[in-house]
Amino acid sequence: MSKTIVVIDDSESIRELVGLTLESAGYSVEKGIDGKDALRLFDNREVNLVITDLNMPHIDGIALIREIRKMEAYSMVPILVLTTESQAAKKEEAKAAGATGWIVKPFVAEKLLAVVQKVIR
């Protein structure tokens, strides 16, 4: 059974690009536009990985990570955040909130898959 990855980004292009890359690598992908949407997506389904942007309207990335970690079923699910180089401090904030790792934008497909490979097998 293929692993399920939830991708959260308010940018449709990034969402689709990340989604397409992951799907072509054999993952099933669920996409959401913000933290609120993400929490609705979870709804007790099996999630193997969450990839989320940090800057989002409503519930932002950091708050989303905290929410996910609060849910018992997902307290140990890997979470990768999408960051840019200018956000070194954000990485630390995200880690402190419970993120597993990060992907620095911009990235190419191979890089994305390599980072995903670091946290799920």
Partner 1 sequence: MTEKLLDIFLGEAQELIVEIEKAVLLLEQNQQDEHGISAIFRAMHTLKGSSGMFGFEAVSGITHHLESIYQDIRDGARAMDANVLAITLKTLDHLRNLMQDPHLGDAGVRANHEQLLTAILSLEDAHTSHHTANNTAPASANTAQQRSYYIYILPHPAILRNGTNILYLVDDLLALGEGTALPFFHQIPELAAIAPDTSYMGFEVVLATTKKEEDIQEVFMFVESDCDITIKSLADGNILSAIGKHEQIQNRDVAAALGYEGIKALAAHPKKKISKADKARSAGINNAASIRVSSERLDDLMNLVSELVTTQARLSLFSGENDSTELSNISENIEKITRRLRDNAFTMSLVPLESIVVRFQRLVSDLSKELHKDIEFTAVGMDTKIDKSIIEKLTDPLLHILRNSIDHGIENPEERKRRNKSPKGKLQLRSYYSGGNVIIEIADDGAGIDLTKVKEKAIAKGLIDGHAALSEKELTDLIFLPGFSTASVITGVSGRGVGMDVVRRNVSDIRGEIDIATRAGEGTTFIIKLPLTLSILDGLLVKIGDTDFILPLTSVAKCYEVKTAALESSFNQLIQLDEKRLPFFFLRNDFAITDHKPELSQVILVSYDGQQVGLVFDRIEGEYQAVLKPLGEFYQRQNEFSGATILGNGNVALVLDPNKLIGKLIDHYKNQQRYEYAG
Report the interface residues with partner 1, using CB under 8 A: 1, 10-14, 16-17, 20, 53, 55, 57, 69, 75-79, 82, 84-86, 92, 95, 98-102, 105-107, 118-121
User: What amino acid is encoded at 112 in this protein?
Assistant: L
| CB nearer partner 1, residue 28 or residue 55 | 55
| CB nearer partner 1, residue 43 or residue 89 | 89
How far from 20 is each of 16, 27, 66, 80, 99, CA to CA, in Å?
6, 10, 27, 17, 23
Closest CA to 6 of 17, 24, 27, 14: 27
- Provide the minimum distance between the beta carbon of 32 and partner 1 in the complex, in angstroms, as a whole number: 15
- Provide the minimum distance between the beta carbon of 114 and partner 1 in the complex, in angstroms, as a whole number: 10
User: What amino acid is encoded at 106 in this protein?
Assistant: P
CA angle 8/10/14 to nearest 5° reads: 75
- Provide the minimum distance between the beta carbon of 2 and partner 1 in the complex, in angstroms, as a whole number: 12
